[in-house]
Amino acid sequence: MAKTAPINMRVEPSQHALLTKAAQVLHKDRSVFILDVACREAENVLLDQRFFQLDDATFAAFDAALDAPIPNNDKLKSLLRKPSPWE
């Protein structure tokens, strides 16, 4: 992948040492380590966007739908066999 956009930051010496040590443990360059960790956390943040509010009746219906057995659905089975886009 071509690297085209710089990301610069200033850190405290203790943070620099921590990041350097962690990268060394994984036998990675510090920049590669930081980018890997930052991207993984960014994916987690985006995937964790699941908060929504429901009134009591709607929540009860939603909860019942979650507890109901899944009907046989070949298209759903096919979809669930495919790898996630982020994998």
Q: Are 35 and 25 within 8 A, CB to CB?
A: no
- 3 inside domain: no
Q: What is the pLDDT of residue 1?
A: 62
- 2 inside domain: no
- 85 inside domain: no
What pTM was estimated for this model as a whole? 0.54
Rounded to an integer, what distance in angstroms lies between the CA atom of residue 55 and that of residue 86? 33
Number of structural domains (the chain) is: 1
> Which of 12, 13, 46, 16 has the alpha carbon at shortest distance from 31?
16
Q: What is the DSSP letter of 48?
A: T
- pLDDT tens for 1-40 read 677 888 899 999 999 999 999 999 999 999 999 999 999 9
- 71 inside domain: yes
Name which residue leads in pLDDT, 40 or 48: 40
